[in-house]
Amino acid sequence: MAIVAVIMNTDHTLRIYESILGLLSSEDNPTPLVRLNKVVPFEHTQVYAKLEWYNPFGAVKDRIAANMIRDAEASGHLGEGKRIVEPTSGNTGLGLAMIGNAKGYPLQTPLSKAIPLEKRTVLRFFGTEVIELDDSLCPAPGAPEGAIARAMETAKTQPDFHMLNQYVNEANPNSHYATTGPEIWKQTEGKITHFVAGLGTCGTITGTGRFLKEQRADVKVIGVYPEEGHDIPGVRSQAQLQQTKLYRPDEYDETLEATNRESFDMCLRLNQEECIIAGPSSGMALVGALKTIPDAPGTIVVIIFPDNVFKYASSFHRHFPQLCPADSQSDGTSSGPSKNDLWLAEMMENLKNPHDTIRAKDLASMVQDSKNLLLVDVRSQEIFEEGHIPQSINIPMEELGDRKKELPEDRDAPIVMVCGIGKFSKNTVLYLKSMGYRNVRSMKGGINEWVRKGHPIEPVE
Ligand SMILES: Cc1ncc(COP(=O)(O)O)c(C=O)c1O
């Protein structure tokens, strides 16, 4: 009996796909909307979560990964023999790694050591070249030693690399304008009244919000961001948002803050009470929504749940020690912090010595009064030129050793070190102290804090 070859074409209803890329979400293949029943205090208002881990590689970022690659191919930036370099908080890297694998573009991703172990390991498992750096969870804009600067450097110096740069690439919000928005409009039959999303690159809220408002201008678009110093991967605090190019608050109706505690507690409730395997930034977005949305008939809310809980197990012991038996306290390793960890922690603690840091407002008055103050900005030249404190000189951290001559002879001269978030300038204080400088401090919170407090930056935009 002859074997008849059966060709099964992509069929969303039967969920048959010719390749994994066929599973990328679109109006014909939307990610699910699920109603929340237990954790919302409403009698009338209906709240739906849009489960983005139903994307083929597990997160909302698959949408932008696919569209940024498509866009770069169309403009000739990506093609045979090219590689991708992209700084990421994890999810964009996972999407780019797999779509890059499928299309023949190997991925290199500089990222923060603070990214949960699961994400770093799975990225490597996907064949990605992972470069671990000291940076904040959602790569800090302007950090010279951070993931963004590193990727920019690679793309500038190595021609076979192309950086898609999700933080400024319009293909990011455009992917949501083309997919997430139309999906939600179709799934709610145009009855949506409120759209809510957590804020990271702001691609999700800007693209989806733009589409929904074009359908009906009175759809409320609400953005939720975490408190300063948070540890929710993928999202940005108010200070970081100030330097996020795709952050367009004039296109949103409201933005509001959720604390770390509130967000992780809501994440736990979503898993335990709603039985929805949502990740921490989903908890954050829901907490924000519940702070502002009214309980009223006809109110239909859709909240983006970007990814699921499984990528965060190793970081939960910080927030839910009760969930982790004593002997599994440290990240993935069994018996707690090593002697080296304790020693390093003590050293970093010493660095917290208040005399070694200066607040932005105190520095502002010092800049005015002091004639011989030396202000050293240790970020990269490129980022320094984008915006820096007037009167500051630029000596990138890695050049400090070679450019000692530019530092004052007088070891008691007042020196203040500055960086993006005030983390690395602290290390340079230690370095200058080892050179004998006695009056050297680091500006607390870095340029982010200086900008947040409204102090002047040059060049003036
Ligand atoms: C887990 C998680 N939540 C929220 C976001 C924010 O999405 P967007 O970058 O579109 O603002 C991201 C983005 O990386 C994310 O990974």
Distance in angstroms (rounded) separating the CA atoms of residues 105 and 312:
28
Alpha carbon of 235 to ligand 1 centroid (Å): 6
> β-pairing, 33-35 with 46-51?
antiparallel
Alpha carbon of 201 to ligand 1 centroid (Å): 7
Distance in angstroms (rounded) separating the CA atoms of residues 58 and 308:
8
Predicted pLDDT at 265: 94
Write down the catalytic residue from 237, 281, 314, 315. 281
What six digits make up the tokens of 354? 């208040």
Overall average pLDDT of the 361-384 stretch: 84
Overall average pLDDT of the 311-319 stretch: 81
Residues with Cβ within 8 Å of residue 350, at least 6 apart in sequence: none
Predicted pLDDT at 434: 83
Closest residue (by CA) to atom 6 of ligand 1? Answer: 200
- Write the class of the CATH domain 25-56+171-313: alpha beta
Overall average pLDDT of the 229-247 stretch: 86
Closest residue (by CA) to atom 15 of ligand 1? Answer: 234
Mutate to test the pocket of ligand 1, among 119, 170, 174, 204 (most ligand atoms within 8 A of CB): 204
Q: What is the dihedral of CA 401, 407, 413, 416, to 10 degrees?
A: -70
DSSP for 149-162 reads: HHHHHHHHH-TTEE
Residues 199, 223 contacting (CB under 8 angstroms): yes
Confidence bin at 127 (pLDDT 50/70/90): very high
Distance in angstroms (rounded) separating the CA atoms of residues 282 and 267:
7
CB neighbours of residue 239 within 10 Å:
22
- Answer with the residue of higher pLDDT: 141 or 61: 61
Residues of the chain with CATH 3.40.250.10: 357-452
What six digits make up the tokens of 71? 């866009």
Residues 378, 400 contacting (CB under 8 angstroms): yes
Q: Is residue 295's pLDDT more than 60?
A: yes
Confidence bin at 455 (pLDDT 50/70/90): confident
Is the pTM of the predicted complex or chain greater than 0.85?
no
Overall average pLDDT of the 374-402 stretch: 86
Confidence bin at 243 (pLDDT 50/70/90): confident
Closest residue (by CA) to atom 16 of ligand 1? Answer: 234
Residue 61 catalytic? yes
Predicted pLDDT at 448: 77
Q: Is the dihedral of CA 395, 397, 398, 402 positive or negative?
A: positive
Predicted pLDDT at 94: 95
Ligand 1, CB within 6 Å, residue ranges: 59, 61, 89, 91, 198-204, 233-235, 279, 281, 306-307
Alpha carbon of 53 to ligand 1 centroid (Å): 12
Ligand 1 atom closest to 200 (CA)? 11
Write down the catalytic residue from 61, 213, 311, 423. 61
pLDDT tens by residue, 3-17:
556 666 778 788 888
Overall average pLDDT of the 155-170 stretch: 93
Predicted pLDDT at 231: 86
**Is 218 buried (19+), middle (13-18) or exposed (0-12) by CB count in 10 A?**
exposed
- Answer with the residue of higher pLDDT: 403 or 89: 403
- Mean predicted lDDT score pLDDT of the chain: 87
CA distance readout (Å), 265 to 224, 317, 361: 16, 13, 34
Closest residue (by CA) to atom 1 of ligand 1? Answer: 234
Confidence bin at 115 (pLDDT 50/70/90): confident
Alpha carbon of 136 to ligand 1 centroid (Å): 14
Predicted pLDDT at 3: 54
pLDDT tens by residue, 40-76:
999 999 999 999 999 999 999 999 999 999 999 999 9
Distance in angstroms (rounded) separating the CA atoms of residues 304 and 204:
8
- Write the class of the CATH domain 61-163: alpha beta
Residues with Cβ within 8 Å of residue 396, at least 6 apart in sequence: 144, 378, 379, 380, 381, 384
**Pick from 159, 68, 157, 76: nearest CA to 382:** 157
Predicted pLDDT at 329: 47
Q: Is residue 333's pLDDT more than 50?
A: no
Predicted pLDDT at 347: 52
Alpha carbon of 282 to ligand 1 centroid (Å): 10
Residues of the chain with CATH 3.40.50.1100: 25-56+171-313, 61-163
Considering the segment(s) 357-452 as one domain, its CATH architecture is 3-Layer(aba) Sandwich (3.40)
Overall average pLDDT of the 306-314 stretch: 91
